[in-house]
A = this chain, B = another copy of it.
Amino acid sequence: MPGVQANRPAEAGDLQEEYARVRALSEALVEPLSEADATLQSMEDASPAKWHLAHVTWFWETFLLRDHGNGYQLYDDDWPFVFNSYYEAEGERIARFSRGMLSRPTLQDLLSWRAHVDEAMQQLLDREELRPLIELGFAHEQQHQELLLTDIKHALFQNPLGPAMWDTTPAARKQADDWYEHPGGIARIGHQADGFAFDNEGPAHRALLEPFALSSRLVTNGEWAEFIADGGYETAALWLSDGWGWVQEKKIGAPSYWRGQQHFTHGGWQDRNPDAPVTHISYYEADAFATWAGRRLPTEFEWEAIARGQEGELAAHDPSGGNQLDDASPPLPIGSDGLFGDCWQFTRSGYLPYPRFRPAEGAVGEYNGKFMSGQFVLKGASCATSRGHSRASYRNFFYPHQRWQFTGLRLAKDL
């Protein structure tokens, strides 16, 4: 089972409320979109907004209602084929890059399906034995809320007319510039049985650290402009070999979404604020920048050790403080205090199993473990991450060339 519940109140009521809140936010996020906007798929990595709405509903219908719903009938027998994402155990599914061809079912069809599933789910939300699965459903839908936001941004960006999804008034503040020092030693790593977590966050274990320091702030747009001005993208010596190949082949010369002094946002083209954290960079870029700056990226263990504090059990850095997704308003990195929010932060740790890791049984076991090759761990949370979804043990992961997420970096150094 991917997650366990410990210190949260055990009343059924909280699941009812959370279910309503999570489901409503998904729908609120597509409200500014037209039916056509919501159908766009701009690349294989991204999915249409409508598809996200449907896929999370498929998850509830399949793993909760079908498996535990006492004679529940599928709303439409043909839909699992089109709205399954990657669960091989759940059978054949549509080729990934064909999701953008799903003009039907209509958005209205999908909202009706959602209402139907929500209605049926009411019977299951007070079954305590299903709590782990239901919490997984929340986490899953929240992950797709973040993807929905980054995918639609990527899709709207393809349009030369530069359409905006929301009106925005971007703001940014300078973050305090300091170092969090750590003396090294044995750190507690991974999910410590203090609430829901994905299977890949456990088992809890220990890691041995050397003395190091982690920056108290994120690298900014202004610093990135200096890196560019200093020839960062033309200096092979700064780059990993694969990164240099990527820069050459794709003719990369700036973070994604940059054009002149502007960058593309959910509010259309906007002037970049030099104090705001840089985002939409790849691992290759993050690593090259750190080399250029004479620093390095932290490991995931270092990052987590700072987030936990020396006691390990208390959250030294509160995940609830930063700039994250609270409601259907435009996600913008603005310079939060603390380690969480604004953007995901690359670590130099490969996304690999923790000691004694075992995937969950059954289809939900495909959730995380099967992606453990070729990717890097990111820590923290972005401005598009649901607030409650953030925690010190969270392991996000992407391939080193991907950058359509709100990805940035926080430097580390040896002590």
Contacts and interface: CB of A to CB of B under 8 A. Distances in A.
A237 interface: yes
B78 A210 contact: no
Contacts of A240: 370-373
Q: Among the interface residues A39, A243, A400, which one has the most CB atoms of the partner chain B within 10 A? A: A39
Nearest to A284: B373
Nearest to A235: B88
Interface in A341-382: 348-350, 352-353, 355-356, 366, 370-374, 376
Given A158-B101, A244-B88, A414 B355 contact: yes
Interface stretch (A116-124, A159-167, A306-314, A322-330): A159-167
Contacts of A207: 208
A405 B24 CA distance: 44
A89 B237 contact: yes
B37 A40 contact: no
Contacts of A100: 40, 100
A275 to B, nearest CB: 30
Nearest to A371: B241
A86 interface: yes
Given A284-B373, A352-B349, A374-B374, A237 B101 contact: no
A112 to B, nearest CB: 15
A125 interface: no
A82 B86 CA distance: 35
Contacts of A88: 236-237, 244
Contacts of A103: 34, 36-37, 39-40, 155-156, 159, 163
Contact of A350 (B159, B163, B287, B352): B352
Contact of A160 (B34, B94, B210): B94
B160 A82 contact: yes
B186 A208 contact: yes
Contacts of A89: 236-237
A155 B101 contact: yes
Nearest to A163: B104
A107 B36 CA distance: 9
Listed residue (A34, A158, A355, A374) with the most chain B CB atoms within 10 angstroms of its CB: A374
Contacts of A414: 355-356
A206 interface: yes
Contacts of A161: 78, 82, 102, 104-105
Interface string A393-415: 00000001000000000000010
Given A34-B103, A163-B104, A371-B241, A98 B40 contact: no
Interface in A42-101: 42, 50, 78, 81-82, 86, 88-89, 94, 98, 100-101
Interface of A: 34-40, 42, 50, 78, 81-82, 86, 88-89, 94, 98, 100-107, 155-156, 158-161, 163, 186, 205-208, 210, 236-237, 239-244, 283-284, 287, 348-350, 352-353, 355-356, 366, 370-374, 376, 400, 414
24 contacts: A34-B106, A35-B36, A36-B106, A36-B107, A37-B104, A39-B39, A39-B103, A78-B161, A81-B160, A89-B237, A103-B155, A105-B161, A208-B208, A210-B356, A240-B370, A240-B372, A240-B373, A242-B371, A244-B370, A287-B373, A349-B352, A356-B414, A373-B400, A374-B374
Q: Which 6 A-B pairs have the closest CB atoms?
A: A350-B350, A101-B158, A88-B236, A36-B103, A36-B39, A208-B208
